[in-house]
Chains A and B, each alone.
Chain A
Amino acid sequence: MQRHLISAADLSRDDAVLILDTAEEMARVADRPIKKLPTLRGRTVVNLFFEDSTRTRISFEAAEKRLSADVINFTAKGSSVSKGESLKDTAQTLAAMGVDAVVIRHGASGAPYRLANSGWIDATVINAGDGTHQHPTQALLDAFTMRRRLVGRDAGLGQDLSGRRITVVGDVLHSRVARSNVDLLHTLGAEVTLVAPPTLLPVGVESWPCEVSYDLDATLPKSDAVMMLRVQRERMHAAFFPTEREYSRRYGLDSDRMARMPEHAIVMHPGPMVRGMEITAAVADSERCTAVEQVANGVSIRMAVLYLLLGGSETALTQARTTEEK
Chain B
Amino acid sequence: MSKILIRGAKVLGGEPQDVLIDGETIAEVGADLSAEGAEVVEAAGKVLLPGLVDLHTHLREPGREDSETVLTGTRAAASGGYTAVFAMANTFPVADTAGVVEQVWRLGKEHGYCDVRPVGAVTVGLEGKKLAELGAMHESAAGVTVFSDDGKCVDDAVIMRRALEYVKAFGGVVAQHAQEPRLTEGAQMNEGVVSAELGLGGWPAVAEESIIARDVLLADHVGSRVHICHLSTAGSVEIVRWAKSRGIQVTAEVTPHHLLLTDELVRTYNPVYKVNPPLRTERDVHALREALADGTIDIVATDHAPHPHEDKDCEWAAAAMGMVGLETALSVVQETMVDTGLLDWAGVADRMSFEPARIGRATGHGRPVSAGEPANLTLVDTAYRGQVDPAGFASRSRNTPYEGRELPGRVTHTWLRGKATLVDGKLT
Chain A residues close to B by CB (< 8 Å): 9, 86-88, 106-111, 113-114, 117-118, 130-134, 176, 179, 202-205, 207-208
Give the docked Cα–Cα distance between A216 and B49 (Å). Answer: 64
Q: Select the residue from B195, B202, B310, B316 with max chain A CB neighbours within 10 A.
A: B316
- Given contacts A88-B313, A88-B314, A111-B315, is CB(A207)–CB(B198) below 8 Å? no
Shortest A134–chain B CB gap in Å is 7
Q: Which residue of B lies closest to A174 (CB)?
A: B199
For the complex of A and B, 9 pairs with smallest distance between CB atoms: A204-B196, A110-B269, A133-B199, A132-B199, A108-B317, A202-B196, A109-B199, A111-B315, A204-B193
Give the docked Cα–Cα distance between A69 and B316 (Å). Answer: 31
B34 sits at the interface (CB 8 A): no
B192, B194, B197: the one contacting A179 at CB < 8 Å is: B197
Interface Cβ pair total, 8 Å cutoff: 80
In the complex, chain B residues whose CB is within 8 Å of the CB of A86: 310, 313-314, 318
B191 sits at the interface (CB 8 A): yes
In the complex, chain A residues whose CB is within 8 Å of the CB of B193: 204, 207
In the complex, chain B residues whose CB is within 8 Å of the CB of A202: 195-196, 202
What 1/0 mask marks residues of chain B from 238 to 275 whose CB sits below 8 Å from any chain A CB? 00000000000000000000000000000011100000
In the complex, chain A residues whose CB is within 8 Å of the CB of B195: 202-204
Q: Which residue of B lies closest to A178 (CB)?
A: B199
In the complex, chain A residues whose CB is within 8 Å of the CB of B202: 202-204
A9, A87, A110, A204: the one contacting B192 at CB < 8 Å is: A204
Interface hits, B294-324 → A, CB 8 Å: 310, 313-318
Cβ–Cβ contact B192 & A109, under 8 A: no
Give the docked Cα–Cα distance between A124 and B318 (Å). Answer: 23
- Given contacts A114-B316, A203-B191, is CB(A208)–CB(B199) below 8 Å? no
In the complex, chain B residues whose CB is within 8 Å of the CB of A9: 197
Q: Select the residue from B191, B194, B318 with max chain A CB neighbours within 10 A.
A: B318
Cβ–Cβ contact B191 & A109, under 8 A: no
Q: List 11 A-B contacts (CB under 8 A).
A: A86-B314, A87-B314, A87-B318, A108-B315, A108-B316, A118-B270, A179-B197, A202-B195, A203-B191, A203-B202, A208-B197
B50 sits at the interface (CB 8 A): no
- Given contacts A88-B313, A203-B192, is CB(A131)–CB(B199) below 8 Å? yes
Cβ–Cβ contact B199 & A204, under 8 A: no
In the complex, chain A residues whose CB is within 8 Å of the CB of B196: 202-205, 207-208
B118 sits at the interface (CB 8 A): no
In the complex, chain A residues whose CB is within 8 Å of the CB of B199: 109-110, 130-134, 176, 179
B198, B204, B270: the one contacting A109 at CB < 8 Å is: B198
Chain B residues close to A by CB (< 8 Å): 188, 191-200, 202, 204, 268-270, 310, 313-318
In the complex, chain A residues whose CB is within 8 Å of the CB of B318: 86-87, 108
- Given contacts A132-B199, A134-B199, is CB(A204)–CB(B191) below 8 Å? yes
Shortest A210–chain B CB gap in Å is 12
Give the docked Cα–Cα distance between A286 and B72 (Å). Answer: 68
Cβ–Cβ contact A118 & B198, under 8 A: no
Shortest A178–chain B CB gap in Å is 10
In the complex, chain A residues whose CB is within 8 Å of the CB of B310: 86
Q: Select the residue from B188, B268, B314 with max chain A CB neighbours within 10 A.
A: B314
- Given contacts A117-B268, A131-B199, A132-B199, is CB(A106)–CB(B192) below 8 Å? no
Give the docked Cα–Cα distance between A179 and B191 (Å). Answer: 16
Q: Which residue of B lies closest to A134 (CB)?
A: B199
Q: Which residue of A lies closest to B204 (CB)?
A: A203
In the complex, chain B residues whose CB is within 8 Å of the CB of A208: 196-197
Shortest B279–chain A CB gap in Å is 15
In the complex, chain A residues whose CB is within 8 Å of the CB of B314: 86-88, 114
Q: Which residue of A lies closest to B191 (CB)?
A: A203
Cβ–Cβ contact A110 & B191, under 8 A: no
Cβ–Cβ contact A87 & B315, under 8 A: yes
Give the docked Cα–Cα distance between A244 and B211 (Å). Answer: 33
Cβ–Cβ contact B317 & A131, under 8 A: yes
Q: Which residue of B lies closest to A110 (CB)?
A: B269
Give the docked Cα–Cα distance between A87 and B317 (Å). Answer: 11
Give the docked Cα–Cα distance between A131 and B318 (Å). Answer: 12
Give the docked Cα–Cα distance between A32 and B104 (Å). Answer: 74
Shortest A114–chain B CB gap in Å is 5
Q: Select the residue from B195, B315, B318 with max chain A CB neighbours within 10 A.
A: B315
Cβ–Cβ contact A106 & B315, under 8 A: yes
Give the docked Cα–Cα distance between A202 and B194 (Å). Answer: 10
Cβ–Cβ contact A110 & B315, under 8 A: yes
Cβ–Cβ contact B317 & A109, under 8 A: yes
In the complex, chain B residues whose CB is within 8 Å of the CB of A204: 191-197, 202
Give the docked Cα–Cα distance between A205 and B202 (Å). Answer: 12
Shortest B119–chain A CB gap in Å is 32
In the complex, chain A residues whose CB is within 8 Å of the CB of B200: 109-110, 131-133
In the complex, chain A residues whose CB is within 8 Å of the CB of B197: 9, 179, 204, 207-208
- Given contacts A133-B198, A179-B197, is CB(A114)–CB(B315) below 8 Å? yes
Give the docked Cα–Cα distance between A79 and B313 (Å). Answer: 21
Give the docked Cα–Cα distance between A241 and B117 (Å). Answer: 49
Shortest A194–chain B CB gap in Å is 11
In the complex, chain B residues whose CB is within 8 Å of the CB of A114: 269-270, 314-316
Q: Which residue of B lies closest to A130 (CB)?
A: B199
Instruction: List 5 extra interface pairs beyond A109-B199, A117-B268, A118-B270, CB under 8 A.
Output: A109-B188, A109-B200, A110-B199, A110-B316, A133-B200
Cβ–Cβ contact B198 & A110, under 8 A: yes
Shortest B318–chain A CB gap in Å is 6
Shortest B34–chain A CB gap in Å is 58
Shortest B377–chain A CB gap in Å is 42
In the complex, chain B residues whose CB is within 8 Å of the CB of A179: 197, 199
Give the docked Cα–Cα distance between A134 and B269 (Å). Answer: 13
In the complex, chain B residues whose CB is within 8 Å of the CB of A205: 196
Q: Which residue of B lies closest to A120 (CB)?
A: B313
Cβ–Cβ contact B316 & A109, under 8 A: yes
In the complex, chain A residues whose CB is within 8 Å of the CB of B204: 203
Q: Which residue of B lies closest to A201 (CB)?
A: B196
Q: Which residue of B lies closest to A50 (CB)?
A: B315
Q: Which residue of B lies closest to A109 (CB)?
A: B199
In the complex, chain B residues whose CB is within 8 Å of the CB of A130: 199
In the complex, chain B residues whose CB is within 8 Å of the CB of A176: 199
In the complex, chain B residues whose CB is within 8 Å of the CB of A88: 313-314
Give the docked Cα–Cα distance between A118 and B200 (Å). Answer: 19
